[in-house]
Amino acid sequence: MNIVGNLLIAPPAVKTSFWHKTVVMITEHHGNGSLGLVLNRKSELSLTDFGRQLGFKIDLPGHVYIGGPVNVKNLSFLHSNDWVSTNTMLVNEQFSISSAEDILPRMATHDLPQQWRLFLGVCGWGPNQLLGEMQGQAPWKKESSWCTANSDLDLVFGSDHHEQWCCALDRSGLEFAQNMFS
């Protein structure tokens, strides 16, 4: 099952946890487990302040995002495919992910892709864990299993926070209905 590049959307039943109203893009899925980034958890840390803390003058609007609760110091740069760094990994035909040391210096000179977000932390699942969560297999519950949707540049980079969750949840419902009647 190829879920890389797709979105996981926390269902409305998930109310009291880190995952409440989250939208996650799966960036890796293989026999050793899965990785992803929470797309709609903006931190309080501005890009300018983040750059300053690390010795870079980054004069850009925006914030660093909280990519997940694992490896919270791990820097990930999710972006459109019109840009590459020394370790860029293609996610799918629209998205790539990079984490090289040259990202912040390049940001300081405005050498950037057309669309992007910077994250600290990732989401991680062990072997078969994510598929079990998605299908609501024990020990996970069906009512809290992930909703899924295809991603695109507009949904990933064109909205944020609660709006992004609502748009992703709507898309998930539409895709589910289309698959039921096709």
Identify whether 26 is part of a domain: yes
Residue 115 placed within a domain: yes
User: What mean pLDDT is predicted for residues 157-173?
Assistant: 92
Q: What does the block give as tokens for 182?
A: 């096709």
Domain total for the chain? 1
Beta-carbon contacts of residue 69 (< 8 Å; ≥ 6 apart): 18, 121, 123
The separation between CA 80 and the C-alpha centre of its own chain, rounded to angstroms, equals: 13
Helix (H) and strand (E) counts in the chain: 5, 10
Does residue 136 or residue 182 have the better pLDDT?
Answer: 136
User: Is residue 179 predicted with pLDDT exceeding 90?
Assistant: no
1 lies in some domain: no
- Residue 158 maps to a domain: yes
C-alpha distance from residue 99 to each of 87, 90, 134, 169 (Å): 7, 12, 27, 29
pLDDT of residue 17: 85
Cα separation, 71 vs 166, in Å, equals 27
**More confident site: 168 or 160:** 168
Residue 182: pLDDT band (50, 70, 90) is: low
DSSP letter assigned to residue 142:
G
Rounded CA gap, 165 and 20, in Å? Answer: 10
Kindly state whether residue 112 falls inside one of the protein's structural domains. Answer: yes
33 belongs to a structural domain: yes
Residue 115 has a CB neighbour count (10 Å cut-off) of 18
Domain enclosing residue 139, as ranges: 7-180
Residue 148 has a pLDDT of 94
Q: Which of 15-19, 79-83, 128-132 tops mean pLDDT?
A: 79-83
Q: What is the pTM of this model?
A: 0.94
- Domain membership flag for residue 117: yes
Q: Rounded mean pLDDT of 103-108? A: 96
* Interval 140-163 mean pLDDT: 91
Residue 1 has pLDDT above 70, yes or no: no
CATH classification at residue 77:
3.40.1740.10
- Is residue 46's pLDDT more than 90? yes
Which residues in 36-61 are b (16+ Cβ under 10 Å) and which e? bbbbbbbeeebbbebbeeeebebeee
Query: What pLDDT band is residue 149 in, cutting at 50, 70 and 90?
Result: very high
| Residue 91 CB contacts under 8 Å (≥ 6 apart), including other chains | 4, 5, 25, 27, 78, 97
Residue 43 domain-assigned? yes
Which range, of 32-41, 84-93, 119-128, 170-179, averages the lowest pLDDT?
Answer: 170-179
